[in-house]
Homo-oligomer: A and B are copies of this chain.
């Protein structure tokens, strides 16, 4: 029983990593700028869509919530999939390849995502909520360095548990913010060390995880490879009300 501090105090601005949304109640979220992370595939697709001119992206949990937007007007594009297939009646699924400029520019997309929406919802008292993915890593980190605020990286995980891909990305942010933050917590140290192991071959590292076989079965290996592209984009999605829009920097 040794005292230690995983959470950061306001007097010592720093960088903390929340490994799953289930651990968010341990943090005083209102003291932080929060980065929500859901690498496979929600925050990657959203970063790509916002980069490609989507006016807004609205994340929802349920296919039914998504479908309800159909009645609100034709300007909404509805994205929903189950088991790797686009749900009948919807415009497209969650593949980042659906978020190209020719499809989303000027449109508002309603995206069904369970883990990411859950993390966003639980983070809603934060000073500000932005989204991160390998696609916008450096642009995001440069912006974070300028904030001079406590930063909390929230991994969406899988069904409230830890997953490797979100943790690796948190570790990539920790790496870039070294020297710009005063303190990190144990989860941040762990995330960064795992990223060091994985960074030269993210796909290879993740192929040893328990779900790699399932990804193959879903036929979304191309999506996964795309989600591991670093610095393909510079736009930072920010939550305004219920909508994710492009942050003005």
Residues of A within 8 A of B (CB): 1-7, 19-20, 22-23, 26, 38, 40-42, 81, 83, 94, 112-116, 158-164, 167, 183-187, 189-190, 193-194, 197, 208-211, 214-215, 218, 220, 224
Contact = CB atoms under 8 A, between A and B. Distances in A.
Contact of A186 (B116, B187, B209): B209
Interchain residue pairs A-B with the least CB separation, the first 5 = A4-B211, A6-B161, A2-B40, A164-B186, A162-B187
A160 B27 CA distance: 11
B22 A211 contact: no
A239 to B, nearest CB: 18
A112 B208 CA distance: 40
Contacts of A7: 161
A214 B164 contact: no
Contact of A210 (B23, B164, B186): B186
A1 B116 contact: yes
B163 A186 contact: yes
Given A159-B26, A183-B210, A115 B167 contact: no
Contact of A3 (B23, B189, B190, B211): B211
Nearest to A164: B186
A26 B21 CA distance: 12
Contact of A209 (B23, B83, B159, B189): B189
Contacts of A40: 1-2
Given A1-B41, A4-B209, A218-B3, A23 B20 contact: yes
A46 to B, nearest CB: 12
A83 B193 CA distance: 30
A205 B114 CA distance: 36
Contacts of A113: 1
B162 A19 contact: yes
A185 B210 contact: yes
Nearest to A42: B1
B19 A19 contact: yes
A27 to B, nearest CB: 9
Contacts of A41: 1-2
Contact of A194 (B158, B159, B194): B194
Nearest to A224: B2
Given A26-B159, A159-B26, A5 B210 contact: yes
